[in-house]
Amino acid sequence: MIDKAKAVSVSRRNNAPVPSVFGILAGPARHVELDGSGMLRNAVTSNPITRVGDVFVMKMYYSELGDYEMNNHVVEYEQDRRIGWEPEAGRGHPRAGRSLGQRWSYQLTPDGPDATVVTEIYDCTRAPEEARAGMDNGKVWIEAMAKTLERLDALCARQGNQPSAS
């Protein structure tokens, strides 16, 4: 038996104001551009996230599962501060319709008027023990999380630090 996991997190200072960063994170269609894992393929949902209770669907690919969808239930939403969702296995996934006991979230902390410290958090503490063990209590995602934050910073720089429409 393994000890119950703690959430893992990665932070990076982003040279963009908080509203610019949050606008990108609230747009599911932008997530493919950010994805450091290489698993996201396309957003089925194009509407921006606006509140807790929203659900956005992403097309995914994982070599062991092939193509599938994830239905992401927004469970945290504080404009320009925090956004997070809990994935539920969707169409094409062997566990379709079931929560995976995971949560992805982003916390934004202003660092002056034109910079933001972005912290990506992965919490698998509610995932089955076998799943937590298979992903080293979430530590397998740390490298991909760092890549995601690097891509987010680059995307903000390319769009000129202007707030995204959301």
- Kindly state the tokens that stand for 122: 């992965």
Question: What pTM was estimated for this model as a whole?
Answer: 0.88
Number of domains the chain contains: 1
Which residues have CB under 8 Å from 54's CB, separation 6+? Answer: 47, 73, 74, 77
- Asked if the structure places residue 3 within a domain, the reply is no
Give the residue numbers spanning the domain of 125.
8-158
Residue carrying structure tokens 């703690």: 6
CATH number at residue 128: 3.30.530.20
User: pLDDT tens per residue, the chain (166 residues)?
Assistant: 445 568 999 999 999 999 999 999 999 999 999 998 888 899 998 899 999 999 999 999 988 888 989 999 999 999 999 999 999 988 988 788 888 889 999 999 999 989 999 999 999 888 888 888 877 777 888 898 999 999 999 999 887 644 444 4
- Strand partners for 57: 71
